[in-house]
């Protein structure tokens, strides 16, 4: 005969089990969240300490690193660690790429939401999603085989130039800008449009005087996010920009960015050497810039809420 | 009359912009496919690559890409879904949640090269593993985690409230509700998000340069012992993926047929990513149909 346990015990027991599962589940998902926090913190701390080593341990002057244009770490007698050309290169390609991609992206967004909301969106939306999907090395490779020779023959210079980097990057960040701008404009209340049309405004007047100002913080967020992506992009730029250590004097000159110098030299410098440590310092600049972009986006979205 | 012409002009400009965007995409795709498909053959996909001679294939790189993707997903998906559940169900509005949210935001906006450098420091130098598949997969996990967390959180949040409340009203505990009600109904959109993320991981190169390395040892595909150095399954061996291969043959390669190899590889890469996208859409639509019983 089976031994019967009183109903009270059974219920208590099952309740116990349930509470166990409840606790286990909560701990499990909490652990996942903790891992995320610790990953972020450890990235900041590790890259921070490693990036500061060249200044603290190797005695590279921070001022020289940020302002000197002479980069010659392999010179035995008098090594120079001026990273300004790369910092300048990074900012230059980022801004130039945004300069092309922002009008195209926002224009595309306006086309999708205002000019041809039905079929325009059906065509452009998947196209933009496909553009996001193309890996960055493929952009770099096409830049290298198509864009660089084209610029060399038809525009001038070597082809490896700021111009090539800027074109490749602008195509890469175009989908980011277009997607966010589309969301921003289509989420504007319809009463804005109708009010403007009811006053007799044309479509262009509505777009220019009503919709763009109303969506401006979100549009700026879109541009900043695109710039953040451009600033951190490494391989595609590295393949087309030429990687020289001089400050470029025109957009047809070859140049280098922080990411491209890291990509090129990280592999063949000795871990722990001064040159290697300065590369980590450049990585730290990238990290700091990515924090700066986040703060900028936060500021913009706080403006949007008001 | 003047504002009318301005309006027409502006409309023309916007249409021109749309045409530019469309032609960029069409140009890119036709270039990749026209130039690449010529070089894709069974032989190209199944011969090992060569460092000096022409005629090398991409067998190992292709395998490595899928293998690293698999390992990354094995690590990142449980973590990401767990994080998503926490954010959607347990996190109370407050300081801690704000901090976690900022962490996700920071992780999501880190440049991939920075994640690669962190991987180099953490999984290559400090652990002393050298360039390994595992190190690459862990770096890609960092890169991928915020995406999966966001997708899971959004999907779980968009499950109708009634379902959750009905389950809780039946006396089922919170965790059990999550397991049996929320996750299954959020599953289609989570899956779609994960496949899209997989496409991104598949094409990623910068984070892998310094973590999984630029070389592959000679592999013996008959050797299935995951601890043997020649085994393709060994996770402690260096592995060059397809995306990294395209970069390395173009920047430091010595082979004479750089362009053929990279054209072929680029086409394989783009087609794979395209397939990931189509698969995600197809699965999403299929499950949506099943659940909502629409035609």
ipTM of the complex: 0.88
Q: Is the model's pLDDT at A254 over the cut of 70?
A: yes
In a domain, A58, yes or no: no
Residue A9's pLDDT is: 61
Read off φ and ψ for residue A72, nearest 5 degrees. Answer: -150, 65
Mean pLDDT of A217-222: 92
Cα separation of the two ends of chain A: 73
Q: Is the model's pLDDT at A14 over the cut of 60?
A: no
3-state secondary structure of A80: strand
> Which helix (H) or strand (E) element contains residue A81?
strand A80-81
Dihedral (C-alpha) B257, B258, B259, B265: value to the nearest 10 degrees? 110
Q: Is the model's pLDDT at B119 over the cut of 60?
A: yes
In a domain, A20, yes or no: no
Residue A283's pLDDT is: 93
In a domain, A23, yes or no: no
Residues of B in contact with A204 (CB under 8 A): 3, 6-7, 9-11
Question: CA B131 to CA B138: how far, in whole Å?
Answer: 12
Interface test with B, best of A15, A28, A33, A51 (most B CBs within 10 A): A33
- Say if the Cβ atoms of B7 and A203 lie within 8 Å: yes
In a domain, A4, yes or no: no
Mean pLDDT of B192-204: 88
Reported as a single tens digit per residue, the pLDDT across B156-166 is 999 999 999 99
Is B108:B147 a contact under the CB 8 Å cutoff? yes
Residues of A in contact with B129 (CB under 8 A): none
Categorize the per-residue pLDDT at A6 as very low, low, confident or very high, splitting at 50, 70 and 90: low
Q: Is the model's pLDDT at B124 over the cut of 70?
A: yes
The secondary structure of residue A71, as a DSSP letter, is: E
In a domain, A279, yes or no: no
Q: Is the model's pLDDT at A15 over the cut of 60?
A: no
Residue A155's pLDDT is: 86
User: How many contacts, defined by CB atoms under 8 Å, are there between A and B?
Assistant: 252
Contacts of A89 (CB under 8 A, 6+ apart): A162, A241, A248, A255, A256, A257, A258, A260
Listed in sequence order, the DSSP H helices in A187-273 are: 190-198, 203-205, 212-232, 235-241, 258-266
Q: Is the model's pLDDT at B283 over the cut of 70?
A: yes
Residue B185's pLDDT is: 86
| Residue from B38, B68, B36, B37 nearest B133 by CA | B68
Q: Report the helix count and the strand count for chain A, using DSSP H and E.
A: 13, 2
Q: Which of A22, A46, A233 sits opposite B121 (nearest CB)?
A: A46
Domains of chain B in sequence order: 38-292 (1.10.3720.10)
Is A68:A295 a contact under the CB 8 Å cutoff? no
Is A218:A179 a contact under the CB 8 Å cutoff? no
Mean pLDDT of A59-74: 84
In a domain, A298, yes or no: no
pTM of the model: 0.89
Total domains in the fold of chain A:
1
Domain holding A95, by residue range, is 91-260
In a domain, A63, yes or no: no
Question: CA A42 to CA A289: how far, in whole Å?
Answer: 17
What's the CATH code of the domain at A248?
1.10.3720.10
In a domain, A76, yes or no: no
Q: Which of B48-62, B100-114, B132-146 has the lowest mean pLDDT?
A: B48-62
| Residue from B281, B28, B208, B243 nearest A135 by CA | B243
3-state secondary structure of A242: strand
Place of tokens 């060249």: A54
Is B137:B201 a contact under the CB 8 Å cutoff? no
Categorize the per-residue pLDDT at A127 as very low, low, confident or very high, splitting at 50, 70 and 90: confident
């Amino acid at each position: 005969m089976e031994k019967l346990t009183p109903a009270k015990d059974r219920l208590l027991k099952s309740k116990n089990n349930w509470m166990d599962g409840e606790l286990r589940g909560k701990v499990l998902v909490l652990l996942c969240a903790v891992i995320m926090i610790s990953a972020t913190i450890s990235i900041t701390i590790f890259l921070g300490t490693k990036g500061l080593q060249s200044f603290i341990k190797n005695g590279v002057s921070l001022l020289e690193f940020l302002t000197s244009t002479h980069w010659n770490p392999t010179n035995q007698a008098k090594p120079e660690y001026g990273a300004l050309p790369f910092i300048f290169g990074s900012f230059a390609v980022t801004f130039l790429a945004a300069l092309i991609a922002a009008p195209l992206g926002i224009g595309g967004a306006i086309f999708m939401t205002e000019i041809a909301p039905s079929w325009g969106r059906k065509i452009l939306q998947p196209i933009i999603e496909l553009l996001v999907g193309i890996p960055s090395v493929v952009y770099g490779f096409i830049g290298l085989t198509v864009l660089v020779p084209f610029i060399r023959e038809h525009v001038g210079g070597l082809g490896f130039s700021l111009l090539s980097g800027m074109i490749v990057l602008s195509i890469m960040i175009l989908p980011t800008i277009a997607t966010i701008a589309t969301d921003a404009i289509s989420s504007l209340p319809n009463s804005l449009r109708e009010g403007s049309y009811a006053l007799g405004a044309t479509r262009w007047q509505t777009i220019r005087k009503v919709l763009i100002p109303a969506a401006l913080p979100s549009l700026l967020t879109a541009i900043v996010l695109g710039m953040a992506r451009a600033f951190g992009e490494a391989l595609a730029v590295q393949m087309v920009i030429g990687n020289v250590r001089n400050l470029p004097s025109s957009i047809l000159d070859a140049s280098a960015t922080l990411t491209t110098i890291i990509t090129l030299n990280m592999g063949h410098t000795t871990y722990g050497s001064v040159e290697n440590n300065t590369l980590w310092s450049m990585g730290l600049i990238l990290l700091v810039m990515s924090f700066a972009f986040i703060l900028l986006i936060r500021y913009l979205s706080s403006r949007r809420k008001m | 009359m003047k504002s009318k012409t301005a309006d027409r002009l502006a409309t023309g400009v916007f249409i021109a912009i749309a045409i530019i965007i469309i032609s960029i995409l069409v140009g890119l795709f036709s270039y990749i496919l026209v130039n690449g498909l010529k070089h894709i053959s069974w032989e190209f996909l199944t011969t090992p690559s060569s460092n000096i001679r022409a005629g090398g294939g991409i067998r190992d790189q292709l395998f490595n890409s899928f293998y690293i993707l698999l390992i990354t997903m094995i690590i990142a998906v449980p973590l990401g879904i767990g994080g998503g559940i926490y954010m959607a169900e347990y996190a109370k509005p407050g300081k801690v949640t704000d901090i976690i949210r900022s962490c996700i935001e920071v992780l999501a906006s880190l440049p991939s090269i920075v994640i690669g450098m962190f991987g180099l420091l953490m999984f290559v130098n400090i652990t002393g593993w050298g360039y390994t598949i595992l190190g690459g997969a862990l770096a890609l996990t960092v890169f991928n985690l915020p995406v999966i967390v966001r997708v899971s959180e959004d999907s779980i949040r968009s499950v109708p409230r009634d379902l959750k409340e009905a389950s809780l009203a039946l006396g089922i505990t919170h965790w059990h509700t999550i397991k049996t009600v929320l996750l299954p109904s959020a599953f289609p959109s989570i899956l779609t998000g994960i496949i899209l993320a997989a496409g991104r991981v598949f094409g990623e190169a910068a984070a892998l340069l310094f973590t999984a390395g630029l070389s592959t040892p000679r592999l013996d595909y008959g050797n299935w012992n995951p601890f043997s150095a020649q085994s393709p399954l060994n996770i402690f061996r260096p592995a060059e993926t397809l995306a990294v291969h395209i970069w390395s043959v173009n920047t430091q390669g010595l082979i004479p047929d750089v362009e053929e190899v990279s054209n072929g590889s680029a086409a394989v890469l783009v087609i794979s990513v395209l397939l990931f996208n189509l698969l995600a859409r197809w699965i999403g639509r299929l499950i949506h149909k099943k659940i909502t019983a629409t035609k």
